[in-house]
Homo-oligomer: A and B are copies of this chain.
């Protein structure tokens, strides 16, 4: 995937940099673990410090010292999950800031302007992320509005603007997903996202929606599964043709002391690690695993030290990036199905037992 700030090897995973930083780590550390792009949240940056401030300071890349691709969401997801007193009309959406209660009005044209001003490489259309559960009637009206907004975004696109991706919505209904995908693919977006998943629905339902939707999106354009997910979710989606992912899971879990390892997931605060001299994962080459013991990471976590978040975040992002590399290698060798089967057993085990990773909650 070629962008204004370089090439991304797909399938790819972009860590989330909500407020102009992937929480706790630097761009150099992201590059060291092999991150090829990050996601910025338009909603957050629009409210603080403001897209115009970032624009006057030379754009988001310069502001945050990141030279590689940035994908920005449209703010839709946060408007519908974080903001207060939302009111949706054909024209756009009015909401109150979750920070200070100030009132804002965003339209498809406005989110294009914001993402242009930020200097994003990949912009997303304004969409409504339909909550789960929603009635067929609501999901249909909403996904049709999202499609009309998508068309307005496309019309608002100017020369030199970021690449623009449409977003398939439609709740958990197959007919609506198909309608949304059909209507959007008639428009000339540079990529297509699958939105509205990982919003609380059962995992088999998420897999069904993905399996209905991904295959009917154009082969020739990137497919992006928004806000998903666990390593196994990602592998499943890649098998159905998804090219791009973002998720807060590795970074948020890191700050909560939950670490991914080649032998399952561990919660570093557990007493069993109090004097464990081993690295988190003996098969891992990340900075945290090269130099620090589980005992030290447990101590930092219990002592509420900032370095805990840093080391855990580096480790978890490294794990995700390495996971994507392994998936790409399996694809190149034509052995993706065998890789998937070999991993199945591991997905259900947790090295320290009795510990389940929580699902991502709204950012």
A7, chain B: closest CB distance, angstroms: 23
Instruction: Tell me which of A18-26, A157-165, A179-187 binds B.
Output: A18-26
Is residue A239 within 8 Å, beta carbon to beta carbon, of the partner chain?
A: no
Is residue A292 within 8 Å, beta carbon to beta carbon, of the partner chain?
A: yes
Instruction: Label chain A's interface by main secondary structure.
Output: loop
Is residue A141 within 8 Å, beta carbon to beta carbon, of the partner chain?
A: no
Is residue A190 within 8 Å, beta carbon to beta carbon, of the partner chain?
A: no
Q: Are A57 and B310 in contact (CB under 8 A)?
A: no
- A56 — which chain B residues lie within 8 A by C-beta? 275
Instruction: Tell me which of A126-134, A200-208, A300-308 binds B.
Output: A300-308
Q: How far is the CA of A296 from the CA of B293 in the complex (A)?
A: 33
**A49-B274, A53-B274, A57-B275 are contacts. A296–B23 as well, Cβ < 8 Å?**
no
Q: Scan residues 180-236 of chain A and give those whose CB is less than 8 A from a CB of chain B.
A: none
Q: How far is the CA of A110 from the CA of B21 in the complex (A)?
A: 45
Q: Scan residues 253-301 of chain A and give those whose CB is less than 8 A from a CB of chain B.
A: 274-275, 277, 291-293, 295-296, 298-300
Q: How far is the CA of A26 from the CA of B302 in the complex (A)?
A: 18
**A300-B21, A307-B24 are contacts. A291–B65 as well, Cβ < 8 Å?**
yes
How many copies of the shown chain assemble into the complex? 2
Is residue A64 within 8 Å, beta carbon to beta carbon, of the partner chain?
A: yes
- A310 — which chain B residues lie within 8 A by C-beta? 24, 26, 306, 310
Q: Are A65 and B24 in contact (CB under 8 A)?
A: no
Q: Are B307 and A21 in contact (CB under 8 A)?
A: yes
- A311: nearest residue on chain B (CB-CB)? B26
Interface set of A (CB-CB < 8 Å, partner B): 19-21, 23-26, 48-49, 53, 56-58, 63-65, 274-275, 277, 291-293, 295-296, 298-300, 302-303, 305-307, 309-310
- Contacts A/B (CB < 8 Å), 18 sampled: A20-B299, A20-B300, A20-B303, A20-B305, A23-B306, A24-B307, A24-B310, A25-B307, A26-B307, A26-B310, A48-B302, A48-B303, A53-B274, A56-B275, A57-B277, A64-B296, A306-B306, A306-B310
